[in-house]
Amino acid sequence: MSSHPSTVSRSVVVDPSDEIRILHVDDDVNQSEFLQYFLPEMDEAFKIDSLSDPCQVFEKMESERYDCVVTDYQMPKMNGIELAEKIRESFDLPIIIYTGQGSEEVAEAAFSAGIDDYLRKEMDPSHYQVLAKRIRNVVEKKRVDTLYRTVIEQTRDALLIFVDNKAVYANEALLDLLGIEDMSGFGADPFHFFMEGDRERAAERLKQVLTHGYTPGFFRYRLKRNDGQTIHVDVSTSPVTYNGKKGIICFARDVTENVRLEEEKKETQLRLQSLVGLAPDGICTVDLTGTVTSVNAAFITLTGFEEGEIVGKNLLMLPTLRKTDFREHLRLFRHILKGQMPPPFQIVYQRKDGTTGWAEIHGCFIDIQGKKEILAVVREISDRKMREQEKEEYNKHLETMVTQRKHELIDTERLIAEGLMSQLCDELNEPLTDLNELICSLKDNPGTFDKILPAIEEQVDASLDLIQEITSRVGDTPLALEKINVDSLLQKALKECEVPESISVDVSHKMVADVILDPDKMKRVLTKLISNAVDAMPGGGNIHVSTELREDGLMLTVNDTGTGIKPALMKNIFKPFYTTKKDGIGLGLVYCKKAVEEHGGSISVESNEGMGTSVSIKIPMLTLTTSIDYPYLKAHDYLEV
């Protein structure tokens, strides 16, 4: 009999048109002819070969395929049962004893030997219909069993059959799952593969199946393989009849990788939830119907609304969105539904307390349990927006000032030109008048030429010197940078200045390296500052000049103990043509400021009336160590209007 569950075979249908090949063995030739004639009449699928000598059966079966053997019992050389036993040693197919010499003893011996069916011969032709039916039954049963075995062995799911709490059958998939070679690996206790805690659950589940006869579905258990590795399996159980006994068939599926992925997914979700919960930016998710599905704590803090006031509401109807922006938000959402996620954009949002703020929205599509949703990161940018607005206002103000400055500079240049012409006229008027008088005198008295000529030359030289002085102080010449020693430059400037004996000059310097400067312009600056100090001390005093090379640059200072400058006049000292000297033209300090700024430096003046004045020049280290062009410095940049 079959060793497989009968409940499964009843559900399999075999095509009755499939050919059934039968090998008939009988030493009675008449019986062979009868079967050759009647059986195909009863079942068109039958194809019959006949042999009279049982010893020829094995050679025949080696060369041909048969579905069933029908053999007589009483034959020379060997009987039917002996033949069946020898066939079973090499072939697995159903065998029917069909004999006229039968008895109860023969039938019992046949079934004990594993014969599939036993039938006595009868003379009535209708008897062949019974034989045909018996043949088809055993063949179809064998085919079902073979199909069942193939399915069981080749299925990817592991299969195990329990009978009386013992494992009686396992397919290859189950043996591989547990890491054992054969059924002996189960030992006396098939539950020893279950982990502690799951062992009792599994035993109780099998007991329920046997007692109540129902299938409880899939349950997950932890098993320890033969090599010690822990695996997770999903097991379904069903009642089954196995060799006439009640049993349980178990289907097991290895889900270890799924469990690992699920645990990783849970861990990732927990990590993501933590990140979302702790994120400083507001985060919300929206499904494709426009319904808000979740918000984080930062979103609630940002807007002031509770979670229940946001989640479950339609995005476009949220109280955080201004009604005046409804059309724009609707337009954006329509684009998103078409799969067109916009780049980051800014909106004005409304807080629960009625105030408004600026937010920057970053959106993307995400997949949540197989459903597509929109994730929006809401970043508060009110402070940034305020700074941008302030910057924009400042830029506008700056543009206005620059425009105004341009106009002022144009006006200033015009005034400079007019002032320069006026100054030239005033300054040249006296020497030219004297020169004109000398020429008239020479015309009246030609004999005085030798006497008058030196005076004429003196007036011409004075006029030329005046013109050169003015043009040198307003001219726009580029820097001629070269490496120089500042202390040496200072000594040259002192030599060009006329310092009376009533004024003492002290020099202190802390220079350790040469620097890069325009020597002519810086010497003129020093000469002018020392001359101003001399002019401020008509009754005598002291001039102290210091030079120092610091980490941030060069410091030049000229101090005097003169009359000082009145506070009301300090604001005008760098304005062109402003002077308090009787013979001055008001361009000396203007030139100094211009020359210093061309070097990237700055000049400042501190003065106490009646105590003296201090002029400080600072030139940054970058200028001192590199040859830098300053193309943005124009001729009029030295002017302060």
Encode pLDDT of 532-557 as tens digits.
899 989 999 999 999 988 888 889 99
Q: What pLDDT is recorded for position 408?
A: 61
DSSP-derived secondary structure letter, 244: T
Could you tell me the domains of the chain? 6-152 (3.40.50.2300), 156-259 (3.30.450.20), 280-380 (3.30.450.20), 386-473 (no CATH), 477-638 (3.30.565.10)
Residue 49: pLDDT over 80: yes
- pLDDT tens digits, one per residue of 409-455: 556 555 555 555 666 666 666 777 777 777 887 777 777 777 777 77
307: nearest Cα among 285, 278, 332: 285
Least confident of 75-84, 109-118, 393-402: 393-402
How many C-beta atoms lie closer than 10 Å to residue 32's C-beta? Answer: 19
Distant-in-sequence, close-in-space partners of 136: CB < 8 Å, separation ≥ 6: 16, 20, 43, 45
The fraction of the chain above a pLDDT of 90, given in percent, is 24
* Predicted confidence (pLDDT) at residue 276 exceeds the cutoff of 80: no
Cα separation, 205 vs 221, whole angstroms: 12
More confident residue, 468 or 316: 316
Categorize the per-residue pLDDT at 615 as very low, low, confident or very high, splitting at 50, 70 and 90: very high
Q: Work out the average pLDDT over 574-581.
A: 71
Q: Inform me whether the pLDDT recorded for 24 exceeds 90.
A: yes
**What is the average pLDDT value for the chain, to the nearest integer?**
82
Instruction: Report whether pLDDT(188) > 90.
Output: no
Least confident piece of the model among 97-106, 174-183, 244-253, 403-412: 403-412
Q: Which has the minimum average pLDDT: 135-139, 375-379, 570-574?
A: 570-574
* Locus of tokens 């599905």: 293
pLDDT of residue 132: 92
User: What does the pLDDT average to over 281-293?
Assistant: 88
Q: Write down the pLDDT at residue 152.
A: 67
| Predicted local confidence at residue 640, as pLDDT | 30
Whether 255 and 232 have beta carbons less than 8 Å apart is answered as yes
125 pLDDT higher than 70: yes
pLDDT of 100 over the 90 cut: no
Cα–Cα dist 524/506, whole Å = 19
CB 47 within 8 A of CB 70: no
pLDDT at 229 over 90: yes
Percent pLDDT > 70 in the chain is 83
The tens digit of pLDDT for each residue in 452-499 reads 777 777 777 767 766 655 655 555 568 888 888 888 888 998 988 888
Given a cut of 60, whether residue 632 has pLDDT beyond it is no
Q: What are phi and psi of 606, to 5 degrees?
A: -125, 135
